[in-house]
Amino acid sequence: MTPRVVWALVTIACVQASGCSTFRSYETELSETSQQLGSGNVEGALALLEKNNSSADKDLLYYFEKGELLRAKGDLTGSQVAWREADQVIYAWEEAVKADPNKYLGEVGSFLINDKVRRYEGYDYEKVMLTTQMALNDVALHDFDSARTEIKKTHEREALIAELRDKQYLDQEQEAEEQGVTTEYKDLQGYPVEALNDPEVTGLKNSYQSAFSHYLSGFVYEALGEKGLAAPGYRKAIELRPDTPLLEQALLNLDRPIKGKKIADSDVLLVVQTGLAPARNSLRIPLPIPTNDGLIIAPLSFPLMTPDTSTPSFSSVELDGRTLELTELSSIDAMSRRALRDDMPGIILRTTLRAATRAVAQKQLNEENPWAGLALGIASAITEGADERTWRTLPDNIQVARLNLSKGTHRLSLPAVYGVTEVEITIKDKFQVIPLRVVGTQVFASGNATRVTPPVVGQALADAAQP
């Protein structure tokens, strides 16, 4: 049996298995889950997640999403348990890459059918944000020692990713040249190229290093009295997000006391994470494919990022009645688009070779067995689609404020669609991190130092009606 016929049979068999999880609509599932989260129904969101992942064999995305939902619920212990499962999956990936990077880079399974058949191992920014979120859970529980462990893991992960991607992109260039694939994403007619060429995207050093991650590492090391390790964290954050006064001030303040700070005061880092990570959708574009019989035009699918618009943006909050400006340190939207921009050459290469193989198989089957050829055509139409999987409950935007607060109780007010949501925070430690999460019109607090008081709807509607 020829490889072309094998390809055809594999494709048809997978399509006939109508319940095949490979072709589930992940974006549809997570849209429903996110709607529950944005309305404040965290239990409903968790129930949907479990319903859509009924198999005993849970994948990486399940643990990603579950950890974030449990965090919103306030169950930081459960969140850490879920995320440790995710971290074990990524650890196994890291060990496999270290053992034989060439074998990992040589994976060709998706050349046969679709990128969705590839085992989901997480995008680079998701791998790094996992340990960052775990460290944030730790500091919310005042456990800076455990946060230090996650931060060290983050730095090691970044180094491994950098080494792997350098080799991968070089190998892809060589493979594309050998196969005669010259198409670039800018050549895709109808594709929103401007989203990948946005200065916010091209200005990033890479897709996975986050200024927030490194600033948080600096703060944790400083809290632990390890200023020699805090300084590199702040410097890296400045490198990733230049011309940001908050970052530059943190480095300056390492060797000198903050002006006006009292010994009894606390150094507080407020972390406000808003929105949801962008969706990954599929866009079909006609593309010329070279075959032995000349060029053919095939409708092929490519991924594009669709930003989340469910959460109103804001750049300041009120603390004890005074305005507190927030500084944006990381945008998951920009990081995800940079990841896609970097991955597009490989996606185009795989998609083009798959389409060429499919075209040859279709021609051969049409000649040998028209019914089989028809079946293959139907199967191809069903399986054609870009991979939609991505960590959707990850926050889209991360803003921070750093300030000196007296110990005791303070009131923080966040703007919402109707009225104002108040958060009571209790300051008791020399260094303290206050993480908040905003999705839709809901505010979620982490740790036992915060308590959220939702707005009174009736009063909120009256306030909203005021001119």
pTM of the model: 0.87
Residues of the chain with pLDDT under 50: 1, 3-19, 21, 108-110, 418, 457-467
The pLDDT value given to residue 18: 38
List the chain domain ranges. 26-347+391-465
List pLDDT tens digits, range 246-256.
999 999 999 77
The pLDDT value given to residue 301: 86
- Helix (H/G/I), strand (E/B), else coil: 329: strand
Listed residue (312, 313, 314, 310) closest to 279, CA to CA? 310
- Tell the residue number behind the tokens 């507080």, with chain if given: 268
> What's the topology of domain 26-347+391-465?
1.25.40
Encoded amino acid at 1, one letter: M
The pLDDT value given to residue 420: 65
Strand partners, 421: 414
Report yes or no: 83 and 153 within 8 Å, Cβ to Cβ.
Answer: no
Q: Which helix (H) or strand (E) holds 382?
A: helix 370-383
The pLDDT value given to residue 362: 61
Angle at 40 between CA 38 and CA 42, to 5 degrees: 100
The pLDDT value given to residue 277: 97
Strand partners, 282: 303
The pLDDT value given to residue 379: 58
Cα-based distances in Å from 276 to 312, 349, 418, 436:
11, 30, 20, 14
Tokens (6 digits) for 281? 């959708």
